[in-house]
Amino acid sequence: MPIAREVQAHAAAQPRRVAVRCDGVSRTYAQLARDAEHRAADHARATPGRLVPLTSADPIDLVTGVLAADLAGAVPVVCDPGWDPDHRRTVLGALPPTVPGAAEHDLAWAGFTSGSTGRPRAVVRSRASWTGSYAPLTRLTGVTGDDTVLVPGPLASSLYAFAALHTLALGATLVLTPGWSPRFLRAELPGADVVHLVPHALETAVRAGRGRLRTAVVGGAALQPALRERADAVGVGIVAYYGAAELSFVAVDPDGSGMRPFPGVEVDVRPPGEVWVRSPWVAHGYLGSAGPLRRDDAGWATVGDLADAGTTRLRLRGRGDGAVLTGGATVVPEDVEAVLADVPGVAGVVVVGVPHDALGSVVAAVVEGTTVRRRSLEAAARAGLAPAQRPRRWYAVDQLPRTAAGKPDRALIGAGVAAGTLAARSVP
């Protein structure tokens, strides 16, 4: 993987520094390098580019396996530990045993993304597509080798995997958690200088108080300005970014002034608002299946995300393939969610389409919160949304179903609403 040699260099320079810690267990850089070298010996006779599935639920074991595969010239693929064995066998059975073109293209990482449809796809990328972006991210975040960096989510997520490997490449101390939960986050925050989060988890961090935390690096979903303001009020600086597993970093907002292209990235918003990027950080492609990543002959790539055109800052509007088609209008869920998220009492909201005989679909909002009232939601919708965008169905849940990475599980919520199986009630 991208940072195996860096870990060995840190092990030589600072062997006793803690490299990684999780749930009371730690490894120094010397121990981590040694463990990876021993495991790499198991792959010594493997064909270069052989795919090595990593299925452990132990985050330190996963990190060690990634480093070992890199040292051996294999390609690690980190699986979601929450998959049941049958599902894992089905997903892995669709992948080739050896990654085509691994040596030629320096392919060194494969991970899964479900996108907006819930179908896991294996994305494969080169070393340089990640390591090349380390330096600009370091400058934007101010992270140093003296820091302790908390990564409180599953390494099966490219967001958290990148954060973990970037931390080790710097020689900093990486703190992992057994999985995502507010309890794990609150337990580890007091000792962290920097944390990588999705917006929902940032809310938990802000409520927990600053401690010694100075920077939160936030990705995976749109960040509401009010949440940034609350973080700033407790002294936590925010570096928010937009990207995708296939595209890596696309745009960044380090100061609240809006998203602009990440260093080294060109952005082109094409009709009907589709975001195209030309970047050295784009992934090589998929293994064993197709996906939303498309390219043109000039080196531009897209996954179908939408943004407003003609502005100096990139305002994202969600994924085109998640749009709700209702009565001839196309509604982007994130546009509706951005308005409803500011209603008092709303802790989270997901907008989905519900089948309708006459209109094809109607917009439905699933709101997390016990105090929010329908009249407040409808007032916000009338004030901030076009008629087609306004939800016709309102559901309330105590907690939104979330993925292992902490993001709302849009596919599960949509299916649950359509089938009537979601544990929800009408908003009073």
So where are the chain's domains?
4-306, 323-426
Q: What is the DSSP string of 322-359?
A: G-EEETTEEE-HHHHHHHHTTSTT-SEEEEEEEEETTT
Q: Say whether 101 sits in a helix, a strand or coil.
A: coil
- Whole-number pLDDT of residue 321: 66
- Whole-number pLDDT of residue 320: 67
Long-range residue pairs from 159-163, CB within 8 A, at least 24 positions apart, any chain: 159/196, 159/198, 159/219, 159/220, 159/405, 160/196, 160/405, 161/66, 161/78, 161/109, 161/111, 162/130, 162/248, 163/196, 163/217
Nearest Cα to Cα of residue 133 among 251, 228, 51? 251
382 to 347, 391, 392, 393: CA distances (angstroms): 20, 10, 12, 14
Name the phi and psi angles at 290, rounded to 5.
-95, 170
Mean of pLDDT over the chain: 90
Over 70: is that where the pLDDT of 116 sits?
A: no
Residue 38 burial (CB count, 10 A): 11
> In the CATH scheme, what is the code of domain 4-306?
3.40.50.12780
pTM for the predicted model, two decimal places: 0.84
- Whole-number pLDDT of residue 407: 83
Q: Tokens for 36?
A: 């990876």
Q: Which residue in this structure is represented by tokens 């059975």?
A: 93
Greater confidence (403 vs 366) lies with 366
- Whole-number pLDDT of residue 119: 59
Q: Average pLDDT for residues 199-213, to the nearest whole number?
A: 87
Strands 75-78 and 393-397: unpaired
Contact predicate 303/270, CB 8 Å: no
- Whole-number pLDDT of residue 81: 86
User: How many residues can be counted in the chain?
Assistant: 428
Residue at 328: amino acid letter = G
Residue 41 burial (CB count, 10 A): 11
The 10s digit of each residue's pLDDT in 335-363 is 899 899 999 999 999 999 888 876 778 89
- Whole-number pLDDT of residue 96: 92
Q: Say whether 428 sits in a helix, a strand or coil.
A: coil
pLDDT band with cut points at 50, 70 and 90 for residue 115: very low
Over 50: is that where the pLDDT of 404 sits?
A: yes
Nearest Cα to Cα of residue 165 among 276, 70, 23, 264? 70
Q: Provide the CATH topology of domain 323-426.
A: GMP Synthetase; Chain A, domain 3 (3.30.300)
Residue at 33: amino acid letter = A
Over 80: is that where the pLDDT of 165 sits?
A: yes
Over 90: is that where the pLDDT of 203 sits?
A: no
Over 80: is that where the pLDDT of 330 sits?
A: no
pLDDT band with cut points at 50, 70 and 90 for residue 86: confident
Q: Average pLDDT for residues 387-398, to the nearest whole number?
A: 92
Q: Average pLDDT for residues 158-163, to the nearest whole number?
A: 93
Nearest Cα to Cα of residue 249 among 271, 220, 274, 224? 220
Residue at 61: amino acid letter = D
Over 60: is that where the pLDDT of 25 sits?
A: yes
The most confident of the ranges 274-288, 318-332, 357-371 is: 274-288
Q: Average pLDDT for residues 312-318, to the nearest whole number?
A: 83
pLDDT band with cut points at 50, 70 and 90 for residue 18: very high
Q: At what angle do helices 4-13 and 29-40 cross, to 10 degrees?
A: 140
The 10s digit of each residue's pLDDT in 408-417 is 888 889 889 9
Name the phi and psi angles at 306, rounded to 5.
-115, 150
Over 80: is that where the pLDDT of 55 sits?
A: yes
Contact predicate 246/113, CB 8 Å: yes
Q: Is the dihedral of CA 225, 229, 231, 232 positive or negative?
A: positive
Which of 23-37, 218-232, 248-262, 366-380 is the least confident region? 218-232
Are both 4-306 and 323-426 of the same fold?
no
Over 50: is that where the pLDDT of 58 sits?
A: yes
Percent of the chain at pLDDT above 70?
Answer: 96
- Whole-number pLDDT of residue 117: 42
Greater confidence (264 vs 290) lies with 264
The 10s digit of each residue's pLDDT in 361-379 is 889 999 998 899 999 999 9
pLDDT band with cut points at 50, 70 and 90 for residue 114: low
